[in-house]
Amino acid sequence: MKCIFEYASPLGKIFIESDGKFLTGLWFEYPFDEKKHAENSGGGVKKISADSIDSFPVISETCRWLDVYFSGRNPDFTPEFRIENLTPFRKLVVDEMLKIPFGATTTYGEIAKNIAAKKGLEKMSAQAVGGAVGWNPLCIVVPCHRVLGSDGSLTGYGGGIKNKIALLKIEGIAAEKFTLPKSRKFM
């Protein structure tokens, strides 16, 4: 059975999901993220309270990781996670996102170029990469917020563009230099 804990971050509620052994989900309380994760969780979810968190080591560890992160520091550990429904392509994209250092950004195009080189291809679709980045079930830990459009646009973010900007600022990135998406639906 999966369990969920509500973490109170400076940016609002973040839901931490675990299968009891691994971190399996991390998302903001935000319409786009919540809908995506509600569809994927499949029922049978137990909400846990702060007074029982010590019984769930990976959730406790994830809270510590988030505490360090939101203090503006790069955590020197990563909660043990397992990503469900991970296709080979999504795994390649997740692996590329995990390489993006704290305080740095990359583009969908750069990730596509790196994957194409690994696979011996001439090129790969940045849009396909965008779909896999948007699918990411572990926001912040798998740093999809560090991925930008080729023109420096902040593009969409399931947790909301305001949260994407805030996360980049926490990492010391001057998010003001990036452009907002033409569509304001993610604000």
The CATH number of residue 16's host domain is: 3.30.160
What's this model's pTM, rounded to 2 decimal places? 0.89
| Pairing label, strands 12-18, 2-9 | antiparallel
- Domain assignment present for 111: yes
Contact 41, 25 (CB under 8 A): yes
- The encoded tokens of residue 47 equal 């909400």
Q: 151 and 95 in one domain?
A: yes
Domain for residue 102, yes or no? yes
Domain match, 164 and 128 both: yes
User: Does 182 map to a domain?
Assistant: no
pLDDT at res. 52: 86
- Asked if residue 168 is part of any domain, the answer here is yes
Give the HSE-up count for residue 142: Cα atoms under 13 Å, Cβ half-sphere.
24
Q: Dihedral of CA 160/2/5/48: which sign?
A: positive
CATH number, position 135? 1.10.10.10
Q: Could you report the average pLDDT of every consecutive run of 10 residues in the chain (187 residues)?
A: 95 96 94 51 76 92 98 98 96 98 97 96 94 96 96 87 94 86 56
State residue 183's pLDDT score: 61
Catalytic machinery residues: 144
